[in-house]
Amino acid sequence: MSSPRELERDFAVALLGGPDEAITGQIQGDGLEPAARIAIYRHHVLVTLTEALEATYPVVVRLVDRRFFAYAADRYIRDNPPIGPCLFEYGESFADFLSAFPPCRDLAYLADVARLEWAMNRALHAEDAVTLDPRWLSAVPLDEVARVKLRLHPSVSLLESPWPIDQIWRTNQPGADPEATVSLDAGGVRLEICRLEDDVVFRPMTSATYAFERALATGLDLQRAVDAARSADPSFDLTPALGELLDQGLIVGASAPSIDTGGPGCKPTQHPC
Amino acid sequence: MIARDERSADTPAPVGVGLRAPHVAEVMATRPAIAFLEVHTENYLGGGPAVAGLERLRHDYAVSLHGVGLSLGGADPLDRRHLMRVKGLVERIQPALVSEHLAWSVGGGAYLNHLLPLPYDESRLEATSRRIEQVQETLGRAILVENPARYLRFRHSPISEPEFLTELARRTGCGILLDVNNVYVSSYNFDEDPLAYLDAMPTGAIGEIHLAGHATNDAAGRPILIDDHGSCVAEPVWDLYRRALARFGPVPSLVEWDTNLPELTVLLDEAARAGRLLRAAQGRERHVVAA
């Protein structure tokens, strides 16, 4: 008789396609081979986790067809089972897996389409956050504006791809024109993916706004974010870029050297002075 | 709480349905006359429209949070982060019922997305009791623990499942979520008597009953029942439900459906059938009270 931990480990190994001798030795026959009993559980694990990945990656399913997707998912699940019980959080590394999966070699754009779908899934389930009141910024002392740091909404992802993944995504939606085609020569794209109200949306970005938001997302202050944007495009204008983020409610926290809305999760104060 | 001894004929019987994502919009729009909705806790632990929608439905329905991921019967300590997220949802939704399973799902660091069986022995009874107590202390309320559907038995498992659940309830004060489909499936798969299973369960501890459909699979020439929640409740399971109501009284009851999800009306028809049986049981109880 093995310890509870050993038994679970042996069971888990068998469920993920490894050898089952260690666990079958602990199971009663009851008129059916223990290995056949383990197979019932294994089937459920692989089928339901495949369904979870299909739900998160419907465009990838469409691009490679369902049977091939199930084959790829089976390989992925055995080597990368979930580490937590919320299935909407499962599959983040699937794009990396696809990019290294030899049968997908000829679909160079596939991994980036998966990254877009992951960003959309992440946006859908991201924590709710209270939007910063734009009046906060007007209360910042002028000599501190350059050093203001802004926190983006948890649903925001920024994605850059050498492929037109936004067009690929759109032409593979239910109800899209089946005759529509995407030219892979259309070039790359930079996208902002986020949740607005209840809807997950994405929009193309210029190289400058992309650099600006990426800098904010990595915790740089406004001056450095503007510097990053201007190194991509010297004509970058802060006012409309910032205004758009505020209008869409995508800024959920801010700090200046002498004022702070608090750490992550804190509600911004409307009148910091 | 969901009333279990409702006396008014105008009040809906304490019957609910499992709410799955494809039905949410229709339930929001039509507000069907059922007493409660049950959801899988783990699908509502993020932000966004899912949990906001559940919060809105909470105004019109009692909600039952049915967890699948705490791994109460596992060898590892409870996942504190997961438990705290569950606590956050419980505080936000204020559910009528909170339930989990007598099962484990985390092994060797992997979450296996299945309600896996454990051997029933004294050391597991002690460890599972401790975990249930931790959950109840953290949530500040009693939970219900469900009997799983089983496809295997361990060589070393000296305690019967009803005995194990009875003892968990006695030691921790938790209630039992009696899934009569699981009782039927497990009993069939091991040539046991499902009525004997019911008779071995304590009458005062059943806080909810689950009903669902099952499939019959061929496993190397031997039929095996699979708890797939993919069809109408089978007739022998309705029979068992009647027997359960007779023994345990008009306990809040729920119809679950997960695979091959039908139109909402099909699910509501199943719930209505459960409601008629439950009302009949209420009538009998009233009769006993009057006598």
- Number of helices (H), then strands (E), belonging to chain B: the values are 9, 12
Phi-psi region of A215 (alpha: psi -120 to 50; beta: other; left: phi over 0): alpha
Answer yes or no: is B191 within a domain.
yes
Q: Does A26 touch chain B (CB under 8 A)?
A: yes
Residues of B in contact with A30 (CB under 8 A): 152-153, 189-191
User: What's residue B285's pLDDT?
Assistant: 72
> pLDDT by residue for chain A (273 residues), tens digit each?
789 999 999 999 999 999 999 999 999 988 899 999 999 999 999 999 999 999 999 999 999 999 999 999 999 999 999 999 999 999 999 999 999 999 999 999 999 999 999 999 999 999 999 999 989 988 899 999 999 999 999 999 999 999 999 999 999 999 999 888 999 988 999 999 999 999 999 999 999 999 999 999 999 999 999 999 999 999 999 999 999 999 999 999 999 988 776 544 334 443 333
Confidence of residue B219 (pLDDT cuts 50, 70, 90): confident
> Can you spell out the DSSP letters for A143-155?
GGGGG-EEEE-TT
* Residue B82 placed within a domain: yes
Query: Three-state SS for B226?
Result: strand
C-alpha B180/C-alpha B172 separation (Å) is 23
Alpha-carbon gap: A34 to the closest alpha carbon of chain B (Å): 8
pLDDT score for B269: 98
Which residues from chain A sit within 8 angstroms of residue B104, using beta carbons? 8
A253 shares contact with chain B (CB less than 8 Å): no
Bridge partners of residue B39, in order along the sequence: B65
Neighbour-count burial of A209, counting CB atoms closer than 10 A to its CB (0-12 exposed, 13-18 middle, 19+ buried): buried
The count of structural domains within chain B is 1
Contacts of B121 in chain A (CB under 8 A): none
End-to-end CA separation in angstroms for chain A:
67
Q: What is the pLDDT of residue A259?
A: 79
Q: What is the pLDDT of residues B3-14, one digit of tens each?
A: 554 444 455 679
pLDDT the model gives residue B287: 65
- Average pLDDT of B216-225? 89
| B9 in a structural domain | no
Is A40 close to B224, i.e. CB distance below 8 A?
A: yes
Average pLDDT over residues B213-220: 92
* Angle at alpha carbon of residue B122, lines to B118 and B126, rounded to 5°: 85
Chain A interface includes B96 (CB < 8 A): no
CA distance A266 to chain B (A): 16
Say whether B47 and A128 touch across the interface (CB within 8 A).
yes
CA triple B177-B87-B121, angle to 5 deg = 45
- For all residues of chain B together, what is the average pLDDT? 94
Q: Does residue B48 lie in a domain region?
A: yes
User: Do the strands A189-196 and A157-161 form a parallel or antiparallel pair, or are they unpaired?
Assistant: antiparallel
Cβ-based contacts of B43 with chain A (< 8 Å): 86-88
| Chain position carrying tokens 């909404």 | A153
Q: Tell me whether residue B7 is in a domain.
A: no
Nearest chain B Cα distance for residue A154, angstroms: 10
Most A-contacting residue of B86, B89, B111, B261 (CB-CB within 10 A), to test interface: B111
Alpha carbon distance B162, B195 (integer Å): 12
Nearest chain B residue to A47, by CA: B113
Which one-letter amino acid corresponds to residue B257?
Answer: W
Work out whether strand B97-101 and strand B104-107 pair parallel, antiparallel, or are unpaired. unpaired
Tokens (6 digits) for A84: 């937590």
Q: Domain containing B260 — which CATH number?
A: 3.20.20.150
Query: Mind telling me how many Å the CA of B203 is from chain A's nearest CA?
Result: 30
A42 close contact with B: CB closer than 8 A:
no
| Helix or strand holding residue A112 (H, E) | helix A110-125
* Residue at B2 is within a domain: no
Distance (Å) from the alpha carbon of B178 to chain A's nearest alpha carbon? 22
Question: Cβ contact (<8 Å) for B52 and A127?
Answer: no
B260-275 burial: b if 16+ Cβ within 10 Å, else e: ebeebeebbebbbbbb
Kindly state whether residue B5 falls inside one of the protein's structural domains. Answer: no
Identify the three-state secondary structure at position A64.
helix
C-beta of residue B188 within 8 angstroms of C-beta of residue B215: no
B238 exposed, middle or buried (CB, 10 Å; 0-12, 13-18, 19+)?
middle
DSSP label of A102? G
Per-residue model confidence (pLDDT) at position A264: 41
Select from B85, B38, B74 the least CA-distant residue to B254.
Answer: B38
Mean pLDDT to the nearest integer, B151-156: 96
Cross-strand partners of B18:
B38
DSSP 8-state symbol, B46: S
C-alpha–C-alpha distance, residues B72 and B100, integer Å: 8
What pLDDT is stored for residue A269 in this prediction? 40
Q: Which residues contact A65 (CB under 8 A, 6 or more apart)?
A: none
For residues B14 and B2, the answer to whether their CB atoms sit within 8 Å is yes
Minimal-distance CA residue of chain B relative to A195:
B48
Q: Which helix (H) or strand (E) holds B238?
A: helix B235-248
Residue B60 lies in domain: 15-290
| B81-123 residue pLDDT tens | 999 999 999 999 999 999 999 999 998 889 999 999 999 999 9
DSSP conformation class of B70: S
